[in-house]
Structure 1
């Protein structure tokens, strides 16, 4: 039997944590493994390896969700997946959290089924959770300057990057354009190098900023 996915809830509002805990705890394949009230707690939980996914608020005291995300991603060799949670879908803090390395974001008013699906998606695949609202954030953050390295991408690398930006996992990209998974991974690695980015999230952010999506 597969062990349940461990979900950590990081939010300075106890009522929010309680609500999420009740929803997640009712699922047989999920468990609430830890809770915290700020980014310091998130860092300690991640360092201790107590979670597969962090559901993390953006605006918190002491260390906010943006700084916590950046430190977790930079410090840990195998960081947990991070879903930032916000009240507003046009919040500039969300864009900053995604740039810091978060795997996606959710609204606090998200439907229960969508919340559970999102947690499972980011935990079990390499896909990113970028809902339609991300386009508005991208428009607000986009500059007239093309991100470094975009023009160096081959047509195939651009194709793979665009599909990743649309939320497809490596397996789904491979099936979509009839490539092997390892070939997709090779193309993405080349994309990261040319763009000078650390990971999939930052590459996808560059794709949005460049207007490829």
Structure 2
């Protein structure tokens, strides 16, 4: 199996994440890069790529998973980033096998920054069954021309908790969803989300 190129492939993935973060609703595909990983890390290969992209010695992270110890050790060994409790972590990973209320807990505990340093907030990376362009959620805000539509298969109350955390802009949290097929969706704090009515 072809090995992941730690420079070229991580940079290619980074560009996709930046595109999706600057154009909320744009679903990027990390399958090409994820397919080059041949290790079982206890998380999606695409999640490992995101960890390798975002983590370093200057930041902290927290993992919610049944395999928390295994994944934490792997991330630490690959990136040298330190762990922290959810309230202080710069990056929080909620993996697919996490307990049913872990996403709620992660979002509620995630730091939102301070007015003098709003960038000192958390980014929450969530593994989910699927993200798609289906018309379940209407997105509006900076980076979106008019409106955009997405569907995220995750616990239903994440939208309300996110709204509460992001109520005092520029404070708030940013979200990255990654699914089993390595599709990636970014929802920065500036994006407004409204559930579409089922007809």
TM-score w.r.t. the length of structure 2 is: 0.37
Q: Which has the higher strand share?
A: 2
Q: Which has the higher helix share?
A: 1
TM-score w.r.t. the length of structure 1 is: 0.36
Does 1 or 2 have the higher relative contact order (CA < 8 Å, sep 6+)?
A: 2
